[in-house]
């Protein structure tokens, strides 16, 4: 079985900031928040989206597009969805 690898590094964020400077912060912050939400979903599920684990609490089920107004401009987010067993609300306090 081959393992999938996701590009979760900081490289895309740095490339945007290097290319566009402060004008690229909107896109860079969107990428950062999207990656944080994906990591939070994996933590809540006790498994990566492709991983088989006995203690898995649910399954990754795609993303829902959302636009959030901020001081930097409109952030295009992809909110991770889950199914099967748990309620998941990313970036919630607690």
User: Whole-model pTM?
Assistant: 0.81
pLDDT confidence of residue 93: 62
Residue 76 has what pLDDT? 95
Q: Tell me, what's the pLDDT at 85?
A: 75
Asked whether residue 32 carries a pLDDT value surpassing 70, the answer given is yes
In 3D space, the residue among 81, 65, 82 whose CA is nearest the CA of residue 30 turns out to be 65
The domains of the chain are located at: 11-83
Residue 62 pLDDT greater than 50, yes or no: yes
33 pLDDT higher than 60: yes
From start to end of 26-94, where are the E strands? 59-70, 73-83
Q: Is the pLDDT assigned to residue 1 strictly greater than 50?
A: no
**Across all residues in the chain, what is the average pLDDT?**
87
């Amino acid at each position: 079985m081959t393992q999938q690898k996701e590009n979760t590094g900081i490289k895309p964020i740095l490339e945007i900031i290097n290319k566009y400077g402060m004008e690229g912060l909107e896109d860079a912050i969107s990428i950062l928040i999207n990656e944080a939400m994906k990591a939070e979903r994996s933590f809540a599920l006790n498994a990566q989206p492709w991983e088989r684990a006995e203690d898995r609490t649910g399954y990754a089920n795609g993303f829902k597009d959302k636009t959030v107004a901020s001081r930097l401009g409109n952030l295009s987010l992809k909110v991770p969805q889950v199914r099967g067993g748990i309620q998941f609300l990313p970036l919630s306090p607690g």
